[in-house]
Chain A
């Protein structure tokens, strides 16, 4: 029992962490939190089930198509919901535009895919066991993404450009960086990461349209607790969240877990709006 709590807790935590990273990648490129983060996770599950279980594509082809589709959705998000808003004076409108886009995709899925959760195929032909693939696949995905992003940001030219944009957009633009293309690339990357979370965690979360708002909320908790733009903080907070939730689920029931997570989230946010791994206040006047 302890083993299964830990395994499922870490696995779920890795999915939350990946959604948190999705938020972060979009945020660093545009200073915008997008409601589509959870939608991407949901799409990973639904599209994976569609391509592999329904259409019968091989797993590798299915994964490739899922990531490609999600990357395209990421770019569409940037073009439709983010870019026009960044230009406008009232930049808070991004909350509404990304919410609208997330709802459009979520409702479309509900209608075309159905409102019932459908099973997600087993990805690898291995026997079921204690340390099952449904647990280690999300962990692997999370580790790969975090390490991959670290390498990208530290050791490649395009990674440095991403960092420059997130540090100071105006200065980066003045240096001649193609800010808009880099932002689109970030959104494509974020799309792929979000969908990978839903795909790797498909067996646990199933292919279900309702995962979108759920992941949007629980995926944001690691961002809020870990500090925005901080991927390692998000990973740590995501793992804690997953473990806490699963433990509370087993021990005292899911309701308490949800209420407790919500309460902790609010309290931490109120006490430290900049997250546990803090940043500073902005100049307002």
Chain B
């Protein structure tokens, strides 16, 4: 067999929406060239527009991580622009403190923005969609009111002068280059994050939150980092905005601006950097081409938003995604290569047993599980079967921490596992799949699998932001492992395909590959054969058998009796939350009660 690197080397998956590294970078390079040479073409007024687009993008780039990647509907982000603008202006003007140099004022604006970004954002950890949206809306209303009322500092309705930067950034083009430079840096940083395990984790939180938890992604920490970053760049954008306007009043910060930022992202497409960048430029420039329409601009943005939501939810990024319009092969077979599993999970030492002792859980009056004992051993496949409603999936959910048992204990190697800290399960190398595959449809198959290895990295969020060496090492390793996992389950040819184009059976194998990224000590499979063809079930059985042989303890919840009896070392039969029988497959197959209750004669 050839060396893994050569054979499995993927065409680098892209996060930017085009083909390959260079293809992905090309539009950005073009924009960079246009931006740098812009003063040669544009007249004075266009300079103001271009500067404004840069300032807006500084904010939108950060907001894009919140809205486009993490999927948090933050519609009142203008509040952070307001805060940044007033902080920078008031400090530079010396209304409340001694006059500060503009750069220091800008830095403090960034800090204030970061803190408030965190404050506005944190409710997102507990509140869902509409609630969070309305919270940010309320915050935006209040910040403007405070700016209006706190006259001694903000100048109230009269306003305050924005900071002016010293040479060489005092001229129109000087200031343009300053803003352009910052916009370029923001583009670079957010593109780095987007292409990192953090960016993928954000999309997982957005589209498959339950799976994200199962992969060990700690939503609070990750979102806190993103809100800090997004708030900081919004603060900087505020300072630049104040300087560009040269004088600010609360009127300058209407909800219309928030709408513009938000819609720029949605028009651009969620989970893309290039799309929202183009969206921001488009929305900033568009009203200038149709002067009579300026009054109608927000109206038109709103119409555009409605059309995008209803007609092309993927936005510009989806339109530009030519690669994924190429038809896929229609008769694709999934041919796993179990021999690769040894390389993937074989090196990790065996864990002790995963045991359930007298576990019970009721929902209201229904006893879902009623005193269940179970032991899963490494290198064995443990089948869990029973009629619908007998408590199989509930058992799996208790093991993976989604439900807390009311009695009894779940122990790993003798130590009790805490309930309700779901993302800690991944650190104990307990992986799972879901009855309905939970996949990030807009990401490639490879990226989906890499999500499974999110906790397996050394670099921090900041290191990814700045593209430092550890970030690259993490990425290279994750990519290699993910290709190996894909090859093992037989999907490596689909690595670069958007996951929502896959067939149902392929999604099931993708989930297994994602779970393998943890090099799991225990793998919990929730009806993996549901919806598969007979051939596929046979290959799935061989794959599961090989996973166990490589050292993993497998819990297999399944209805396909043939599969269970073919590969399980041990079978537990549940009925009404209680154990009906347990033993070797041969014993179960001839167990009178099991045959009567479940298998049929």
> In the complex, are the beta carbons of A111 and B295 less than 8 A apart?
yes
A85, B488: Cα distance in complex, Å: 38
Interface pair A217/B434, CB less than 8 Å apart: no
With A258-B141, A270-B126 known as contacts, the answer to whether A100 contacts B149 (CB < 8 A) is no
Q: Output the least CB separation between A85 and chain B (Å).
A: 8
Min C-beta distance of A90 to chain B, whole Å = 7
Within B33-73, the residues touching A (CB, 8 Å) are: 71, 73
Q: Are A100 and B302 in contact (CB under 8 A)?
A: yes
Binding-face segment, B303-311, B341-349, B537-545: B303-311
Interface residue? B397 (CB, 8 A): yes
Cβ contact within 8 Å between B135 and A269? yes
Q: How far is the CA of A216 from the CA of B142 in the complex (A)?
A: 14
Contact with A along B292-328 (1 / 0, CB 8 A): 0001101101110110011001000000000000000
Q: Contacts A111-B296, A269-B126 hold; do A99 and B131 have CB atoms under 8 A apart?
A: no
- Chain A 105-136 interface residues, beta-carbon cutoff 8 Å to B: 107-108, 111
- Nearest CB in chain A to that of B402: its residue: A285
Q: Is A227 an interface residue (CB 8 A)?
A: no
CB-nearest residue of chain B relative to A81?
B306
B497 to chain A, nearest CB (A): 19
Give Cα distance in the complex from A193 to B587, angstroms.
67
Instruction: Check A95–B303 contact: CB distance below 8 A.
Output: no
What is the chain A residue whose CB lies nearest that of B147? A255
Interface window among A12-20, A178-186, A259-267: A259-267
* B133 cross-chain contacts in A, Cβ below 8 A: 95, 99
Q: Does B249 contact A (CB under 8 A)?
A: no
Whether A92 contacts B73 by the Cβ 8 Å rule is: yes
Asked if B21 is at the interface of the complex by the 8 Å CB criterion, the answer is no
Is residue A103 within 8 Å, beta carbon to beta carbon, of the partner chain? yes
Q: Does B127 contact A (CB under 8 A)?
A: yes
Q: Which of B387-401 contact A (CB under 8 A)?
A: 393, 397
Q: A96-B305, A262-B139 are in contact. Are A285 and B393 (CB under 8 A)?
A: yes
- The CA-CA distance from A99 to B76 in the complex, in Å, is 12
Complex interface: chain A residues within 8 A of B138 (CB): 217, 262, 265
Q: In the bound complex, how far is the Cα of B126 from the Cα of A95, in angstroms?
A: 17
- Tell yes or no: B145 within 8 A of A by CB: yes
Given contacts A258-B141, A262-B138, A273-B126, contact A99 B305 (CB under 8 A): yes
* Complex interface bits, B126-138 against A, C-beta within 8 A gives 1, otherwise 0: 1111110111011
Q: Which residue of A lies closest to B150 (CB)?
A: A255
Q: How far apart are the CA atoms of A258 and B143 in the complex, in Å?
A: 10
B419 in contact (CB, < 8 A): no
- Given known contacts A266-B123, A269-B127, A273-B127, is B149 in contact with A103 (CB within 8 Å)? no
Q: Check A220–B306 contact: CB distance below 8 A.
A: no
Nearest-CB distance from B436 to chain A (Å)?
Answer: 10
Q: Is A147 an interface residue (CB 8 A)?
A: no
Contact with A along B239-269 (1 / 0, CB 8 A): 0000000000000000100010000001000
User: Contact between B210 and A285 (Cβ–Cβ < 8 Å)?
Assistant: yes
Bound CA span A88–B312, Å? 12
Q: Bin chain B's interface residue count.
A: 35 or more
Give B364's nearest chain A residue, CB to CB: A280
Question: B298, A269: Cβ atoms under 8 Å?
Answer: no
Give the interface centre of A90, A100, A108, A258 by most chain B CB atoms within 10 Å.
A100
Interface 1/0 per residue, A265-278 and B, CB below 8 Å: 11001100100000
Distance to closest chain A CB from B399 (angstroms): 12
B135, B149, B306, B393: the one within 8 Å of A254 (CB): B149
- Do A285 and B397 touch (CB < 8 A)? yes
B107-147 interface mask toward A, CB cutoff 8 Å, 1 = contact, 0 = none? 00000000000000001001111110111011101100110
CA distance A93 to B308 in the complex (A): 11
Contact (Cβ within 8 A) B305 A103 = yes
Cβ 8 A contact of B142, one of A101, A104, A258: A258
Q: How far is the CA of A253 from the CA of B145 in the complex (A)?
A: 11
Write the chain A residue with the least CB distance to B71.
A92
CB nearest to A213 among chain B residues: B255
Nearest CB in chain A to that of B303: its residue: A104
| B142 CB contacts on chain A under 8 angstroms | 258-259, 262
Bound form: Cα–Cα A255–B129 in Å = 27
Partner of A253, one of B149, B301, B302: B149
B-side contacts of A101, CB under 8 Å: 302, 306
Knowing A103-B259, A285-B397, A285-B434 are in contact, say whether A80-B306 is a contact too (CB < 8 A): yes
- List chain A residues, Cβ under 8 A from B402: 284-285
Distance of B129 from chain A, by nearest CB (Å): 5
Q: How far is the CA of A213 from the CA of B299 in the complex (A)?
A: 15
- Contact between A90 and B141 (Cβ–Cβ < 8 Å)? no
Cβ of A56 within 8 Å of any chain B Cβ, yes or no, is: no
Expressed in whole angstroms, the Cα–Cα distance for A133 and B434 within the complex equals 60
Taking CB as reference atom, which chain B residue is nearest A107? Answer: B299
Contact B302 A104 (CB under 8 A): yes
Q: Is the CB of B309 within 8 A of A96?
A: yes
B161 contact set on A, CB distance < 8 A: none
C-alpha gap A214/B140 in the complex (Å): 11
Q: Which residues of A contact B513 (CB under 8 A)?
A: none
Cα A68 to Cα B305 with chains together (Å): 27
A187 at the interface (CB under 8 A from B): no
Whether B191 is near chain A, meaning CB under 8 Å from some CB there, is no
B313 in contact with A93 (CB, 8 Å)? yes
Query: Are A97 and B310 in contact, CB atoms less than 8 angstroms apart?
Result: yes
CB-defined contacts of A108 to chain B, threshold 8 Å: 299
Out of B75, B139, B299, B434, which one reaches A99, CB within 8 Å?
B75
Interface check A33, CB cutoff 8 A: yes
Q: Known A95-B129, A101-B306, A107-B299; judge A258-B145 contact (CB<8 A).
A: yes
A85 vs B123: C-alpha distance in the bound complex, in angstroms? 25
CB-nearest residue of chain B to A102: B302
Q: Does A29 contact B (CB under 8 A)?
A: no
Q: Report B-chain residues with C-beta under 8 Å of the C-beta of A80.
A: 306
Question: What is the bound-complex CA distance between A234 and B39, given in angstroms?
Answer: 57
- CB nearest to A217 among chain B residues: B138
Q: Which residues of A contact B73 (CB under 8 A)?
A: 92, 95-96
Say whether A84 faces chain B, with CB atoms less than 8 Å apart: yes
Which chain A residues border B131 with CB–CB below 8 Å?
224, 269, 273
Q: Given the complex, which residues of A lie within 8 Å of B130, measured CB to CB?
A: 33, 94-95
Nearest residue in A to B300 (C-beta to C-beta)? A107
Decide: B146 and A90 in contact? CB cutoff 8 A: no
CB contacts (< 8 Å) of A266 on chain B: these are 123, 135
- How far apart are the CA atoms of A106 and B135 in the complex, in Å? 20
Greatest chain A CB density within 10 A among B139, B302, B309 is at B309
Q: How far is the CB of B368 from chain A (nearest CB, A)?
A: 11
Chain B 536-570: CB-based contact to A (< 8 A → 1; otherwise 0): 00000000000000000000000000000000000
Closest to B432 in A: A285
Select from chain A the residue with minimum beta-carbon distance to B305: A100
Would you call B299 and A111 a contact (CB within 8 A)?
yes
Known: A258-B141, A273-B131. A107 touches B302 (CB 8 A): yes
Q: What residues of B have a CB within 8 angstroms of the CB of A33 in the complex?
A: 130
Please determine whether A97 and B302 come into contact, CB atoms closer than 8 angstroms: no
Residue of B nearest to A93 (CB): B309
| Residue on B nearest A273 in the bound complex, by CB | B126
A265 to B137, CA, bound (A): 13
* CB proximity of B192 to chain A, nearest CB, Å: 27
Query: In the complex, what residues of A have CB within 8 A of residue B129's CB?
Result: 92, 95
21 intermolecular pairs with C-beta atoms under 8 Å apart: A81-B306, A92-B129, A93-B313, A97-B310, A99-B75, A103-B302, A107-B296, A107-B302, A213-B141, A213-B255, A220-B134, A224-B131, A255-B149, A258-B142, A259-B142, A265-B135, A266-B123, A269-B131, A270-B123, A285-B402, A285-B434
List 3 A-B pairs, minimum CB-CB distance, nearest first. A103-B302, A107-B299, A100-B306
Taking A104-B299, A214-B141, A217-B141 as known contacts, 4 extra A-B pairs with beta carbons closer than 8 A to each other, sorted by chain A number, are A103-B305, A107-B299, A255-B149, A265-B138
Name A's B-contacting residues (CB within 8 A).
Answer: 33, 80-81, 84-85, 88, 90, 92-97, 99-101, 103-104, 107-108, 111, 213-214, 216-217, 220, 224, 253-255, 258-259, 262, 265-266, 269-270, 273, 284-285
